[in-house]
Amino acid sequence: MKILVIVEQREGKLNRVSFETLTGAQAIARETGWALEAAVVGSGVGEIAREVAGKKVAKVYDIESPQLAAYTPDAFVAALKPFLAEKKPTLVLMPHTYQVRDFAPKLATALGRALVSDCTGYKKKGDKLLFVRQMFQGKFAADVAFDSEPPYFATFQTGAFRGDQVEAGASPAAIETVQADIPASALRNKPGEVFKEAKQAVDLTQAQIIVAVGRGIKEEKNLALARQLAEALGGEIAASRPICDAGWLPMDRQIGSSGQTVAPKLYVALGISGAIQHIVGMKGSRTIVAVNKDSEAPIFEVADIGIVGNLFEVIPPLVEEIKKAKG
């Protein structure tokens, strides 16, 4: 019985979120007594393999091919499918990143198996491993079990485990280089360079105070209210994805998995229900204040201070009180 963690590299750099998955895998290995191995997939990524080999793992595979230099789902699956068929791990764990979302369902399907994606944790129930994930936009959690033969595929959400708690090994683990045989004809997608849109003017990661709005703001003109609060607090205005999708605020003001990840001193969430994609971008904030009309909104699960009520009634007097308190 064996756990395999596929760490993520992008552009030849280790994505640190891989250590979170490794921490989770180490915990599962401790509880089950299963061996833990890791793999990195790429071209000339031996340095990453060496870094991972410093952690408490039995072995690290460095899966190499010139066809893996730029990420494509075809090349990754062409490299990993025969590798997994040969090594037969019981459990394959990956971080739930955009790259993994792109190839992991294809990989599991190619092997005739299922993937439980975006997990926040696991439970051991007797001999069975259950994977915990959120459903219905965070309103419920689910315990999901595999009803099949291994390998079982699971991905862990950012923040599910603490990357800084990954255990180092007593001595560096052995590294085995695997040459993947991928014919150029297998690659159908031709990826271009990774780029950033020129206009990313706002760096919210440096903001001390953020006032963020969600669907509860209802209309574009109501943003003025949130702006007044942000101004009174001396903070930046931000939003959940739907607000930016609607064009009410520019995309560079978006907090969450597809936007910026922030950890200000104060985060005020106005009319944000707290879908998981938003939570991962702000749960590290020192103090979270949530105002929402729905007392069961998932945002209250991460809030330090909660107000169940109509934000249109609460904000105007709050702006006045803040101005008074500031003198």
Q: Which of residues 74-113 bind other proteins (CB under 8 A)?
A: 74, 97-99, 101-103, 105-106, 109-110, 113
Q: Which of residues 227-256 bind other proteins (CB under 8 A)?
A: 233, 241-242, 244-247, 251-252
Choose, by CB under 8 A, the member of 147, 164, 185, 206 that binds other proteins. 147
CA distance 6 to 246: 36
Q: Is 73 in the site for other proteins (CB under 8 A)?
A: yes
Question: Near other proteins by CB under 8 A, which window of 41-49, 85-93, 141-149, 168-176?
Answer: 141-149
- Rounded Cα distance between 303 and 260, Å, is 19
> Which is nearer to other proteins, 90 or 137 (by Cβ)?
137
Residue 59 in contact with other proteins, rule: CB under 8 A: no
Give the torsion sign (CA, 180, 186, 190, 194). negative
- Binding residues among 264-293 for other proteins as defined by CB under 8 A: 265-266, 273, 276, 286-287, 289-290
- Looking at the DSSP bridge assignments, the partners of residue 217 are none
- For residues 269 and 227, give the distance between their C-alpha atoms in angstroms, rounded to a whole number: 13
Q: How far is the CB of 170 from other proteins (least distance, A)?
A: 33
What does the per-residue mask of binding to other proteins show for 184-203, with x meaning CB under 8 A?
Answer: ----xxxxxxxxxx--x---
Annotate 257-295 with DSSP letters as a single string. TTSB----SEEEEES----HHHHHHHTT-SEEEEEES-T
Nearest to 200 by CA among 257, 262, 252: 252
Task: Considering only residues 305 through 324, tell me which ones interact with other proteins, judged by CB under 8 A.
Answer: 305-310, 313-314, 317-318, 320-322, 324
Region of residue 136 (phi > 0: left; psi between -120 and 50: alpha; otherwise: beta): left
